[in-house]
Copies of this chain bind each other. A is one copy, B any other.
Amino acid sequence: MNQSSNSTVANKMLDFMESASWIRKMFEEGACLKAKFGADKVCDFSLGNPDLPPPESFRETLKTIAADRSPGVHSYMPNAGYLDVRSRIAAQASRDHQVEELGPEEIIMTCGAAGGLNIIFKSLLNPNEEIIVPKPYFVEYGFYVDNHNGKLVPVKSKPDFSLDIHSIENAINNKTKAVLLNSPNNPSGVIYSKKELEALANLLTQASDYFSRPIFLISDEPYRKLVFTGSTVPPILKFYPNSIVTTSFSKDLSIPGERIGYVAVHPEVSQKTGLLGALTLANRILGFVNAPALMQRVVGKVLDAGIDIGVYQKRRDRLTEILKEAGYTFTVPRGAFYFFPRAPIPDDTKFVRILQKERILTVPGTGFGAPGHFRIAFCVDDEVIERSREGFKRTMEMVK
């Protein structure tokens, strides 16, 4: 109370800003580099901001729908979104996840996957209940869970970033509400296999029986469509009834600024009516109210569209060659657009600073709960990737 009574800004937010400040500092340092040497002289691999243009069908559909003057096209609709859009998405989701009878009522349109995760946590979490997430994980998860008074419990994965079922098992207790997966994974680029998912589903089924309440599987999968030749992302809903999927169109349509995605709930999820009601109410009271009307209508018409993954794959292959040549240790990403190599020195933040001297901007693994690594986001031009070749090499030689 003393503390709070003296503050203007919420103490927690002050702490968050302070803890986030070193990341900001690195971005500022990067900005300084660009200012000093020119953006074209800096290799910026720090942001996961898709650089490919949206698919042609998206652009054409957007033009058509923007010209639609029908009454009410910009009005409120049900908080869960337009029924026809949700029906089309339900049809696609039931194919992708191999569950029949997934209908529009099990789909809730959201402001991207970030909005989706927030309404899921708001709907599920009682104070201090826990969400288990395998490392490495997207740094925002900690904030999302904390928003709703829950606790994020990161657990270790295997050296190749595949699931360590035993570490998940050991983390489960009577406060565990869900396990959160992100596959293809940001930052590691791994895709959890059918075998891993089946093992996890078995574990969660047993744990749910033991605590006689469901422990949920939450899948955050904005990169599901962004996978490289020879890889596929196994369905999630198929393996476990108490599963909830959220995704966005940000990455596969290259429209992250438009904030459009959805939540899909398994048709046989426990307390379905209550859960769907809670998700819809959460969408309303968290201030989203509904996903942006215009973009709902656009994505509903281009569900089969996607950017040219071949472009990302060529970049991945080139970076694989560059990093191998320079002698880095890493797992070749099978999806998404990130490499997560081991830093050649223990202090990943220090190593990222050293890379900056070569005008190469990356993000320390510490930010993803995996110190000793660093993230390279390759949603940048081939030319930038090629230009980084010597820098990655020199840095490795320097620290060896």
Contacts and interface: CB of A to CB of B under 8 A. Distances in A.
Contacts of A115: 287-288
B49 A122 contact: no
A271 B8 contact: yes
Given A49-B76, A115-B287, A292-B259, A281 B13 contact: yes
A74 interface: yes
A73 B53 CA distance: 9
A84 to B, nearest CB: 14
Interface stretch (A59-67, A232-240, A328-336, A384-392): A59-67
A270 B4 CA distance: 15
A233 B297 CA distance: 36
A305 interface: no
Nearest to A56: B69
Contact of A271 (B9, B20, B50, B274): B9
A286 B11 CA distance: 17
Contacts of A127: 4
A75 B49 contact: yes
A140 interface: yes
Interface in A42-74: 47, 49-51, 53-54, 59, 62-63, 65-67, 69, 71-74
B76 A275 contact: no
A13 B75 contact: no
Nearest to A242: B8
A336 to B, nearest CB: 16
B285 A143 contact: yes
Interface residues of A, number: 89
B53 A71 contact: yes
A282 interface: yes
A122 B1 CA distance: 17
A214 interface: yes
A32 to B, nearest CB: 17
A213 B3 CA distance: 11
A277 to B, nearest CB: 5
A7 B17 CA distance: 34
A77 interface: yes
A295 interface: yes
A174 B6 CA distance: 10
A123 B13 contact: yes
Given A278-B17, A287-B144, A10 B294 contact: no
A211 interface: yes
A129 B275 CA distance: 29
A343 interface: no
Contact of A126 (B10, B62, B73, B125): B10
A13 B122 CA distance: 8
Nearest to A293: B257
A289 interface: yes
Contacts of A3: 126
Most buried by B among A8, A66, A71: A8
